Amino acid sequence: MIKIPKRIRLANLPTRIEKLDRLSKELGGPQIFIKRDDQTGSEISGNKIRKLEYVIQEALEQNCDYLITCGGIQSNHARATAAAAARLGLGSCLVLRSSGNDSLEGNYFLDKLLGADIEFITPEDYKERRMEIMEEIKARLVQQGHRPYIIPEGASNGIGTFGYYTGMEEILEQEKQMGIIFDAIVLAVGSGGTYSGMFLANKLLGHETKIFGVNVCDDASYFKDRIYDILQDSFRYIDKTIDFSKDEISIIDGYVGKGYALSTVEELEFIHWLAKLEGIILDPVYTGKGMYGLVNEIKKGKMVGYENILFIHTGGIFGLFPKKDLFFE
């Protein structure tokens, strides 16, 4: 038995796995299933809270009283952090990437509602200086008598990895209950932590599921390096390491579209089409691109040999609202 770090319990777990009958029939290929991690909660909905359960536990063990993190203006992770902080009586400061003139809606509106302190920085500063800026905020809070804890983008670091280590354990138990083996698991990749956790568990638990990430920004090479680094960091928390190469990290490139959080007409039409087909709503930043990538890979014949494919719905519904005017032009 592998001993992993402790966690605080915040999410509604386990989340359901549902079969997408109509989508599977439409594609005429593998059977498609979806794990509803969009239902981990309401304010804390999505995949980020699984990682935050471990990260915040570490913060509490260090007697911290303030959480500092970063993300885009519609960051699911930032909103989940603000919600978790409010629930636990902690302060929160969100460093959000913005080009200015953002409407008060979606996750940004919820951030404000939840009482988070918000600091906006330019996309350039976000790319080059976000950690430096969070360290400056931390120093300022320390001077005010607080004990702050910095959480990296997406809670994608060594400790956050264990959110989806246990997520994979949950899937393995559900496989037994359902009498099925998922020979492929597909998820959107935006900061690398969710993929890292599932990859780590897949290795350490001796499972042989193929895990595919559909990158929603950057490229495959970037994420192979990023996931490799996160995994190396995770080894600090357990009593063993794993031997693996970056070639084992499977990234399906080619579906970034216009870029992170930017939507093509085809992506929005796909989200609308799937909502009508299955009654499941994807988000435009992560799951919309991820499922769009999976469906197109199946249509291209790239997923031959996989009979049962599980897609991880990582949430993000609040990010749809700022794009509402683009759907029915």
Residue range 88-115, pLDDT digits in tens:
999 999 999 998 888 999 999 999 999 9
Q: DSSP letter at 183?
A: S
| Bridge partners, 119 (sequence order) | 95
Question: Is it true that domain 17-46+159-327 has CATH number 3.30.465.10?
Answer: no
Active site residue 156: no
Task: Note the pLDDT of residue 101.
Answer: 83
- pTM score of the predicted model: 0.97
One fold for 17-46+159-327 and 48-155: yes
Angle at the Cα of 61 (from 314 to 198), degrees rounded to 5?
Answer: 30
Per-residue pLDDT tens for 112-154?
999 999 999 999 999 999 999 999 999 999 999 999 999 999 9
Mean of pLDDT over the chain: 97
Per-residue pLDDT tens for 48-74?
999 999 999 999 999 999 999 999 999
Sign of CA dihedral 218, 221, 223, 226: negative
Per-residue pLDDT tens for 195-247?
999 999 999 999 989 999 999 999 999 999 999 999 999 999 998 888 999 99
Question: Is it true that domain 48-155 has CATH number 3.40.50.1100?
Answer: yes
Per-residue pLDDT tens for 194-208?
999 999 999 999 998
Residue whose token pair is 């920085």: 121
- pLDDT of residue 329 exceeding 70, the answer is no
Across 249-274, average pLDDT:
97
Catalytic residue (one of 24, 45, 75, 92):
75
The first and second tokens of residue 33, run together, are 């299933």
Contact 58, 236 (CB under 8 A): no
- Domain ranges for the chain, please list them: 17-46+159-327, 48-155
